[in-house]
Chain A
Amino acid sequence: MKGWPLLPVMLIALVVLAGLTIGLAGDGYEDVLANLSLALCLLPIAGGLRRKGTNMKDGKHNKDRP
């Protein structure tokens, strides 16, 4: 991962673009795939928020430390 720092970002972007395109082709599983691909890009944000909550509970959240 260190050698390819943009790999996860590029993968998510590709999955989203593929999902959105597949979603145009039908109203059944195609829409489900499109929605799942959109949900995928929200997952890391949810993960970040969850970690923030855990850190605050553990008292690790040090506001404005330089």
Chain B
Amino acid sequence: MKPGTLRAWTRIHTWSSLACTLFMLMLCITGLPLIFHDEIEELENARIVETWNESRLVSLDRATDAALALHPGDVPIYLSFDVDRPVVNITSGAHGRVGEGSMSFQPIDRRTAAPAAGGAQGGVMDVMLKIHSELLMGSGGMYFIGFVGLVFVLALVSGMILYSPFARKAGFARVRHGKSARIRWLDWHNLIGGVTLGWALAVGLSGTVTTLSDPVTAWWRADALAGLTRGTGGIIQPYRPGMLGKAVDNAIAAAPGMTPQFVAFPGAPFSSRDHYAVFLQGSTPLTARLLTPVMVDARTGEVDGIAPMPWYMKALLLSQPLHFGNYGGLAMKILWALLDLATIIVLGTGLYLWFGRMASGRRTGKRIAARGTAP
């Protein structure tokens, strides 16, 4: 590498790293407990493994009626299914397009049609997630975090390019323990940064993609979902008792081997004025992460359209587990946490090396100035 090229990459690495270091430190520190959020939440509310008889559960329509009875005047917007208990969660509001803050969330136990525990917001982990994902600044903060992720990727790539001549001279994964503290920390910075590159790229890029979930989902709604529906523009009929169960049954029949993950009622953002949108998931670990929307006519209960997700929605949904590291059991979570700690060390050593270089630059400047003025 020519000296000029090396200087240019050094500048890119220094400034891209400095621009994102403080935010990355915050993301790594808040991300650490979020890796174990399932375990932490289980400690807070001990969860019992539940068993139930499917044939004895109340119908989806009755569960929805029970939820609406607790929120008079509301219309149902979404219904989702809990995985580990026979509970459906009904989100309702004054109308289908009400803001998220004005929605009510009501879990209903399908064994008794009575309210179930859960759905409380505002715990420590929720606050931690809000800091991590949007700096408590809403969607603006989320896009900023996405930009920080891109700058982090630039810092990683430029760091690797700079590591190349170093590794040629010193060898891979070598820490010169006999040298000064600064050289030792430089070696650790290079070693840890180099071996965690793949993981850091995966987490950084998938995090950036995840921050784009709102505009990507909005695009999907306007593009693919709108193409599935043929809205007549009439009066929205968000809920007709007895129709929900039929809609879900017909959707499952139209896509054998799939199970419902959530339902968007007519008039909801993920549906149309005249359709129930039943979102089905596959049975394999990979297809369970991808959703297939089935549009069911709200008047007849007949399936009107079905389409797999486009590539950009698949990329969005698959980027989430790659960012959270929550798909390989506790072992993966522990490894994820160790790699998170390793990244904190890389960021810390990077700052230490930069401050050291600044101080050394100042000392040299003073010496030159002293020589220049002294006789």
Question: Interface on A for B, CB 8 Å cutoff?
Answer: 1-2, 5-6, 8-9, 12-17, 20, 23-27, 30-31, 34-35, 38-39, 41-45, 47-48, 51-52, 55-56, 60-66
Contact of B178 among A12, A15, A31, A62 (CB under 8 A): A62
B163:A55 contact, CB within 8 angstroms:
no
Q: B332: which of A8, A35, A42, A51 is its contact (CB, 8 Å)? A: A35
- A65: chain B residues within 8 A (beta carbon): 178-180
Q: Is the interface of B mostly helix, strand, loop or mixed?
A: helix
Contact with A along B145-176 (1 / 0, CB 8 A): 00000000000000010011111100111010
B residues whose Cβ falls under 8 Å from a Cβ of A: 160, 163-168, 171-173, 175, 177-181, 188, 191-192, 194-199, 201-202, 284-286, 289, 318, 321-322, 327-329, 331-332, 335-336, 338-339, 342
Closest A residue, CB atoms, query B345: A45
A sample of 28 cross-chain residue pairs with beta-carbon separation below 8 angstroms, ordered by A number, consists of A2-B168, A5-B166, A6-B160, A6-B163, A12-B194, A12-B197, A13-B201, A23-B328, A23-B332, A24-B286, A24-B321, A24-B322, A26-B286, A27-B285, A31-B332, A35-B331, A38-B335, A38-B339, A39-B335, A41-B339, A42-B335, A44-B191, A45-B192, A48-B173, A55-B177, A56-B177, A60-B177, A61-B177
Q: A5-B164, A5-B165, A48-B175 are in contact. Are A38 and B191 (CB under 8 A)?
A: no
User: What residue of chain A has the Cβ atom nearest to residue B288's Cβ?
Assistant: A27
CA distance A14 to B336 in the complex (A): 17
B201 to A: closest C-beta gap in Å: 7
The 8 A-B residue pairs with the shortest CB-CB distance in the complex, in nearest-first order: A13-B198, A16-B198, A5-B167, A38-B335, A5-B168, A44-B173, A31-B328, A9-B194
The verdict on A48 contacting B201 (CB below 8 Å), with A9-B167, A34-B332, A38-B336 known, is: no
Residues in chain A near residue B321, CB distance under 8 A:
24
Q: Please, how many angstroms separate the alpha-carbon atoms of A34 and B284 in the complex?
A: 17
5 more contacts with CB within 8 A, not counting A12-B194, A27-B285, are: A5-B166, A6-B163, A9-B163, A34-B328, A35-B329
What separation, in Å, do the CA atoms of A2 and B164 have in the docked complex?
10
User: Given the complex of chains A and B, what is the CA–CA distance between A43 and B342 in angstroms?
Assistant: 12
Cα–Cα, bound, A49→B238 (Å): 62
**Interface of chain A: mostly helix, strand, loop or mixed:** helix
A52 contacts which of B177, B180, B332, B335 (Cβ < 8 Å)?
B177
Shortest beta-carbon distance from A44 to chain B in Å: 4
Q: Is the CB of B168 within 8 A of A52?
A: no
- Complex CA gap A9/B199 in Å reads 12
- Taken together as a complex, chains A and B put the C-alpha atoms of A17 and B322 apart, in Å, by 10
CB pair B198 A15 closer than 8 Å = yes
For B165, list chain A residues within 8 Å (CB): 5
Assess whether A31 is in contact with B327, with CB atoms less than 8 Å apart.
yes
Residue of B nearest to A37 (CB): B198
Among B180, B285, B318, point to the contact of A66 (Cβ < 8 A): B180
What B residues does A24 contact at CB under 8 A? Answer: 285-286, 289, 318, 321-322, 327
Contacting residue for A60 out of B178, B197, B335, CB 8 A: B178
Tell me which of A17, A38, A39 contacts B201 (CB under 8 A).
A17
Question: Cβ of A16 and Cβ of B191 under 8 Å apart?
Answer: no
The answer on a CB contact under 8 Å between A17 and B202 is: yes
Chain A nearest Cβ from B165, distance in angstroms: 7
B199 and A16 contacting across the interface, CB-CB below 8 Å: yes
| Chain A positions within 8 Å of B336 at CB level | 38
**Residue of A at shortest CB range from B179?**
A65
| Cβ-defined partner of B198 (8 Å) among A17, A43, A45, A63 | A17
In the bound complex, residues from chain B placing their C-beta under 8 Å from that of A38 are 199, 332, 335-336, 339
In the bound complex, CA of A64 to CA of B176 (Å) = 11
Complex contacts, B199 vs chain A, CB 8 Å: 16, 20, 38, 41
Tell whether A5 pairs with B285 under 8 Å between CB atoms, given A31-B328, A42-B338.
no
